[in-house]
Amino acid sequence: MDDRLIEVPRGLANVAVAETSIGDVRAREGFYRYRDYSAIELAETVTVEDVWHLLVRGALPDAAERAAFAAEVAAARARPEVDEVVRVVLGAGPVDPVAGLKAAWPLYAAARGLRPVYDLSEAARSADAVELAAITPVILDALHRRGRGLAPLPELAGRGIAANHLHQLTGRVPDARAERALTAYLIAVMDHGFNASTFTARVIASTGADVASCLAGGLGALTGPLHGGAPSRALDELDEVGTPDVVEPWVRAQVAGGRRIMGFGHAVYRTADPRSELMKRYAREFGGPRVELAVRFEETTERLLAELKPGRELHANVEFYAAVVMEACGIPRDMLTPTFAIARTIGWTAHVLEQARDPKIIRPSARFTGAPEVTPLP
């Protein structure tokens, strides 16, 4: 076929590039699921580790599987190479945790001798995937604390990623409300269709590369402000607005100036983002002036966007209320995107494992838009 006749939907919208049994996003219904379960129901009822097992091992664990999986994760988190890699990354000077993680994964893979997925059995690939996801919060928390990670507390034993992450970031034993809110967030954002970072990780996996390379590529995509880099920007907006009476003139000025309002709009949803609705419920449980301002901001922004951009169906996305909830949990602003990365890494590993089962490399075509004729050299 003549490449010039190939249709190229902007952003590859509505183009199916692979088959998956990991998750399903029904954008028009405002619903998404992980395997056979509602993702929102999982977020409200089970643990991060149970959903992690569901995504990478294919089913929710029974008691024996839960214990075995916890032991596997704990063993990975305790590997001496983790501390060595953190020291190397910090040796170059102060570093943003996400930038440090992008460097740390390949360094860790080299230290551990992790091999390309093309050369591994299914069991070996799965072990590498779990190991790399398990060390991710350890690395991020250590980078945030400049290598001075807090010793695990006995009272946090068995409480999982959410509680231990909060302890490392705040220095306190998290209360039940904060732990449950962060657990819901981490589960809710583990996977969400073929978003830019997931697709990037799968493309790299299709080459047969090692899992760490796949994750580093996915993380690079996640850091973009139009993908996972927006939570802190949503809080910046609330800071700039300050009080409820300023919301409407501020939003009108933003729209009139052609500036994007971070935390609103989504590449897929044209209805309420179910993840945003979930996080809004948790935000209301915290309450306070900040949450009241966020609710007013959302209501006013959606009303004005409907007025000023009719037909666009722009609603608050997950990052808006997630930022408010994570702030209420005590997570520093510079750790919002890293916390997103902890969750999404689990989803990426599930997709890497699924893609690795297909030996066909992802290699799409492009439509050439240059001059139709070749220009002879003089």
Structural domains present in the chain = 23-225+331-356 (1.10.580.10), 231-328 (1.10.230.10)
Residues 6+ apart with CB under 8 A from 256: none
Whether residue 372 is predicted with pLDDT greater than 90 in this model: the reply is no
- The CB density around residue 129, as the number of other CB atoms within 10 Å, is 27
> Which of 324, 332, 259 minimizes the C-alpha distance to 298?
324
So what's the pLDDT on residue 119?
A: 97
How does residue 183 score in pLDDT terms, banded at 50, 70 and 90? Answer: very high
How does residue 2 score in pLDDT terms, banded at 50, 70 and 90? Answer: low
How does residue 326 score in pLDDT terms, banded at 50, 70 and 90? Answer: very high
What is the token pair recorded at 206?
């299709």
Rounded CA-CA distance 142/144 in Å is 5
For range 236-260, the mean pLDDT: 90
Q: When comparing pLDDT for 94 and 208, which is higher?
A: 208
So what's the pLDDT on residue 230?
A: 62
pLDDT tens-digit map of 209-228: 999 999 999 999 988 877 76
Q: What is the mean pLDDT of the chain?
A: 90
252-259 long-range CB contacts below 8 Å, 24 or more apart? 252/304, 252/308, 255/304, 255/305, 255/308, 255/309
- Give just the sign of the alpha carbon dihedral 222, 21, 11, 3: positive
Q: When comparing pLDDT for 8 and 136, which is higher?
A: 136
So what's the pLDDT on residue 255?
A: 87
Q: When comparing pLDDT for 230 and 139, which is higher?
A: 139
So what's the pLDDT on residue 266?
A: 59
So what's the pLDDT on residue 229?
A: 61
Q: What are phi and psi of 26, to 5 degrees?
A: -105, 90
> Catalytic pick from 49, 237, 298, 319?
319
Q: When comparing pLDDT for 213 and 256, which is higher?
A: 213
So what's the pLDDT on residue 318?
A: 83
So what's the pLDDT on residue 4?
A: 58
Rounded CA-CA distance 51/98 in Å is 23
Q: What percent of the chain has pLDDT over 70?
A: 96
315 is catalytic: no
Global confidence as pTM: 0.91
Whether residue 330 is predicted with pLDDT greater than 90 in this model: the reply is yes
So what's the pLDDT on residue 267?
A: 57
What is the token pair recorded at 29?
């219904």
> Catalytic pick from 266, 315, 327, 354?
266
pLDDT tens-digit map of 265-293: 655 656 778 999 999 999 999 999 999 99
Whether residue 181 is predicted with pLDDT greater than 60 in this model: the reply is yes
pLDDT tens-digit map of 292-313: 999 999 999 888 888 878 767 7
Residues 6+ apart with CB under 8 A from 180: 282
Lowest mean per-residue pLDDT among 16-30, 156-170, 208-222, 226-240? 226-240
CB of 371 within 8 A of CB of 128?
no
Q: When comparing pLDDT for 148 and 155, which is higher?
A: 155
Give how far the C-alpha of residue 118 lies from the chain's centroid of Cα atoms, to the nearest Å.
Answer: 25
How does residue 3 score in pLDDT terms, banded at 50, 70 and 90? Answer: low
What is the token pair recorded at 64?
């024996």
So what's the pLDDT on residue 101?
A: 97
Rounded CA-CA distance 237/147 in Å is 31
Bridge partners for 264 per DSSP: 316
Rounded CA-CA distance 94/202 in Å is 31
